[in-house]
Amino acid sequence: MHVPDGFINAPTSAVAGVVAAGAVAVSLRGARKELDERTAPLAGLVAAFIFAVQMLNFPVAAGTSGHLLGGALAAILVGPYTGALCISVVLLMQSVLFADGGLTALGVNISTMSVVGVVVAYVLFRTLVKVLPRRPGSVTAASFVAALVSVPAAALAFVGFYAIGGTTDVPLGTVAAAMGGVHVLIGIGEAVITALTVGAVIAVRPDLVYGARDLRQPLKLRVGGELVDAPGREPEPVAAAPRASRRTFLLSGLVVSLLLAGVVSFYASANPDGLERVAEDKGFADSAEEHANADSPLADYGVRDIDNARLSGGLAGVIGVGATVVAGGAVFWAIRRRRTGDDSATATSAAGSS
């Protein structure tokens, strides 16, 4: 659902840019509280993984495809503020390096996917976790619902921008109905990917899942070949049972991201995504302007001068994952370092006053 230049007029795009900049600034401040020794190394990987999975368009209807937006997944794994930054980094890399999503529309894309998508997903996720049984399975179930709802919410946020500054005279109700309908279908795919990923991380490193830190699971005993709850014992924190070292987990996640972007992406659906299909069907696709970086060596997720489509696309995907993990890692390392410096200054001040 990457909005190209031309769909939204310049004044509205400028306002969206201000909103996006403000949201990023708030997220930078909020992420200082979320990023710790567990979350910081994971955040860059989450951004790279979302970049890779966004290359995997899946069919949702005749002639239409969808792809992961990632707001729910990022917020649940690393926290809402850090998650919003993850999506923003991905969108920036896609726009600058791959000419995917307009440069003047970057504010619209960040506002819809990184702000609305993350906020709606995380608020719904936290609400569900509070009312569901405090078990790991509840986190997976809540992540499914949160991801499902976040996609049409982001789509309707685009409709809001279109209502204010759309450059083509198309009935708003028609655009809203089409965007909402197709993105509900895309949301189902988003929900499946998000739930499977969150469930997989909980299975091997539950302590790394930001949204599962408050959950507890009962201590189990094996009696007669069956596992039963241990009587008289308080439930253990979910985060207390990592089953893989952090380095192994992070390296495995990076390898998976590289394989998805470098190999699996070749088999992704070539059909237009939800926004592109709606634009074609409702008559405003022609308002899209050529991307300012259309002549980029990596434009359209291919490497210029490499004729083999499989090799070109795979290499572009690998470069994208590498660039995203480096850019995201640098951002999150800097935030983490700033938090460490603030903590040290606070400790020094407290010691001096005592």
Can you tell me the mean pLDDT for 281-302?
A: 95
Number of H helices, E strands in the chain: 11, 6
Residues linked to residue 223 through DSSP beta bridges, in sequence order: 226
180 pLDDT tier (thresholds 50, 70, 90): very high
The pLDDT, as a whole number, for residue 314 is 97
Beta strands in 213-286 (DSSP E): 216-217, 220-223, 226-229, 236-237
pLDDT over 50 (residue 310):
yes
Whether residue 54 contacts residue 67, with contact meaning beta carbons closer than 8 Å, is answered with: yes
Question: For residue 11, with 0-12 CB atoms within 10 Å meaning exposed, 13-18 middle and 19 or more buried, which class applies?
Answer: exposed
Can you tell me the mean pLDDT for 113-123?
A: 98
Distance, in Å, from the CA atom of 18 to the CA atom of 197, rounded to the nearest integer, reads 33
Here the tokens at position 178 are 């089409």
Residue 146: HSE in the Cβ half-sphere, 13 Å Cα cutoff:
33
Whether residue 108 contacts residue 151, with contact meaning beta carbons closer than 8 Å, is answered with: no
Can you tell me the mean pLDDT for 5-26?
A: 97
270 pLDDT tier (thresholds 50, 70, 90): very high
**Cα-based angle 237, 195, 125 (whole degrees, multiple of 5):** 65
Between 342 and 104, name the one with better pLDDT.
104
The pLDDT, as a whole number, for residue 79 is 95
Between 6 and 225, name the one with better pLDDT.
6
353 pLDDT tier (thresholds 50, 70, 90): low
SS3 226: strand
The pLDDT, as a whole number, for residue 207 is 86
Can you tell me the mean pLDDT for 14-27?
A: 97
pLDDT over 60 (residue 348):
no
Whether residue 57 contacts residue 66, with contact meaning beta carbons closer than 8 Å, is answered with: yes
Distances from the Cα of 266 to the Cαs of 28, 55, 103, 255, 316, in angstroms? 35, 9, 26, 17, 11
Percent helix, percent strand, percent coil in the chain, to nearest 5: 70, 5, 25
- For residue 210, the one-letter residue type is Y
Alpha helices in 55-135 (DSSP H): 71-78, 80-98, 106-109, 117-131
pLDDT over 90 (residue 151):
yes
Distance, in Å, from the CA atom of 31 to the CA atom of 351, rounded to the nearest integer, reads 26
The pLDDT, as a whole number, for residue 61 is 84
The pLDDT, as a whole number, for residue 233 is 47
Distance, in Å, from the CA atom of 131 to the CA atom of 129, rounded to the nearest integer, reads 6
Least-confidence region, from 203-217, 234-248, 257-271, 305-319: 234-248
* CATH T-level fold of 10-353: Arp2/3 complex 21 kDa subunit ARPC3 (1.10.1760)
Nearest to 257 by CA among 99, 73, 64: 73
pLDDT over 80 (residue 231):
no
pLDDT over 60 (residue 234):
no
Distance, in Å, from the CA atom of 27 to the CA atom of 12, rounded to the nearest integer, reads 22
pLDDT exceeding 90 applies to what percent of the chain? 79
Whether residue 111 contacts residue 16, with contact meaning beta carbons closer than 8 Å, is answered with: yes
Provide the 10 A C-beta neighbour count for residue 187: 26
164 pLDDT tier (thresholds 50, 70, 90): very high
Distances from the Cα of 96 to the Cαs of 9, 42, 329, 351, in angstroms? 20, 24, 18, 47
pLDDT tens digits, 27-60: 999 999 999 877 788 999 999 999 999 999 999 9
What's the pTM value of the predicted model, to 2 decimals? 0.89
